[in-house]
Amino acid sequence: MTKSIMIVGVGGQGTLLTSRILGGVMENAGYKVKVSEVHGMAQRGGSVVTFVRYGDTVAEPIVEEGQADVLIAFERLEAMRYAHFLKADGVLIVNDWRIDPIGVVTGAMKYPEHIIEDLEQQYQVYRVDAMHEALKLGNSRVFNNIVLGLAARHMDFTREEWLKVIAEKVPPKTVEINTKAFLAGYEQ
C-alpha cells in the first residue's frame, strides 16, 4: 500500500508547513514517508505544489497525474489547476478562497466562476471557508490547519496523532490557536 497526498496553493500560504505536519503524522504511525517541496522562485506568489507519499515502501517522492488519493487545495483556482492529478476515487479538499493571479489583477484574464460546483460534477469534493473561520479564531494565518483538519477526516490517523505533530511543528506560541483551528476543520 502506498498513498499519495498533494497540497496545492499560492506561494506564501504555508503548503510547506502542512506537508511537514502530514509527513510527521505518517512517520509516527510507522510508515515510510517521502515529502517533496518546491522552494525558490515559485514561492513568490506563484502556484505551489508539495507532495507527501507514505506506505510500506515509497520509491518516487512526487505524485503524478491520476495518482493522488487526497488533494488539499488552499485556493479555488489551484484546486482546478491540479484536480486532474486525483485518482478516480480520490478526495478533493478545497478552501473556498480566491486569490487573483496577476493576469486577473491586470484585467487581461477572468477568474473562472463556479469552480467548486464544476469540480463537484467530476470529483468527491469537500469545501471549507477556512479563511473566515480563521478570522473568527483571531488569526487568518491558521486557516491551513482548518483545511488540514477537514482533510484529516478522510485519512486513517487519529485526532490525537494529528494534534501531537501540530504541537511539535508550529511555532510554540501558536500551538493553542492552531489546535483550535485543526479541530474546527476536523469537527466541521
| Footprint of another protein (CB under 8 A) | 10-12, 20, 23-24, 27, 30, 32-47, 58-62, 64-66, 77-78, 80-81, 83-84, 99-112, 131, 140
Q: 136-142 contacts: CB < 8 A, separation 24 or more?
A: 137/177, 137/180, 137/181, 137/184, 138/177, 139/174, 139/177, 141/14, 142/174, 142/177, 142/178, 142/180, 142/181
Nearer to another protein, 39 or 173 (CB): 39
Nearer to another protein, 90 or 185 (CB): 90
Nearer to another protein, 83 or 150 (CB): 83
Nearer to another protein, 137 or 153 (CB): 137
Least separation in angstroms between CB 6 and another protein: 14
Least separation in angstroms between CB 75 and another protein: 9
DSSP 58-80: ---SS--TT-EEEEEESSHHHHH
Least separation in angstroms between CB 52 and another protein: 9
Residues written for the chain: 188
